[in-house]
């Protein structure tokens, strides 16, 4: 559904100058990251797609456990997007599959748990 929505220009993922229509979804069995280029109409389209997915699959997305993270949020867009998606705002760095991720340089403290896990194995 997301790929078709992208093809129909309902929204654009990130790094669209490198990947046609941009990277929109990163998934692991129980985690999904949706990446959107700044566009409120596109965000509303994605929210509608998520609602349609719930109806079609008979599943419920837990927006309470979800977060909106904005790269370079100089104008406080995070709260606007959080309202659209009815979820919390988050802060970087985040951990995805145990790996710290941030749009800026990570500090040693951010990577400490990962290093400890590698040393223990």
Residue pLDDT, tens place only, 51-86: 999 999 999 999 999 999 998 887 889 999 999 999
Rounded distance between C-alpha atoms, residue 36 and residue 82, angstroms: 13
| Single pTM value for the model | 0.79
Pairing of strands 25-28, 88-89: unpaired
Per residue in 87-113, pLDDT (tens digit) is: 999 988 877 777 777 777 666 665 566
Which tokens in the block code for residue 105?
């340089």
pLDDT at residue 26 above 70? yes
Tens digits of per-residue pLDDT, 29-59?
A: 888 899 999 999 999 999 999 999 999 999 9
**32 alpha-carbon distance from chain centroid:** 7
For 99, the token pair is 């790996």
Mean pLDDT, residues 1-10: 94
What's the 3-state SS for 19-37?
CCCCECEEEECCEEEECCC
* pLDDT value for 116: 63
Strand pairing category for 67-68 and 88-89? parallel
Q: What percent of the chain has pLDDT over 70?
A: 86
């Amino acid at each position: 559904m997301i790929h078709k929505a992208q093809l129909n220009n309902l929204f654009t993922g990130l790094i669209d100058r490198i990947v046609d229509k941009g990277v929109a979804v990163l998934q692991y069995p129980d985690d999904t990251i949706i990446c959107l280029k700044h566009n409120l109409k596109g965000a509303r389209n994605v929210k509608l797609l998520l609602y349609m997915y719930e109806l079609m699959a008979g599943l419920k997305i837990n927006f309470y456990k979800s977060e909106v993270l904005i790269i370079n949020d100089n104008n406080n867009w995070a709260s606007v997007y959080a309202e659209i998606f009815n979820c919390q705002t988050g802060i970087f760095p985040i951990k995805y599959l145990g790996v710290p991720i941030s749009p800026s340089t990570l500090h040693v403290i951010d990577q400490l748990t990962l290093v400890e896990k590698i040393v223990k194995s």
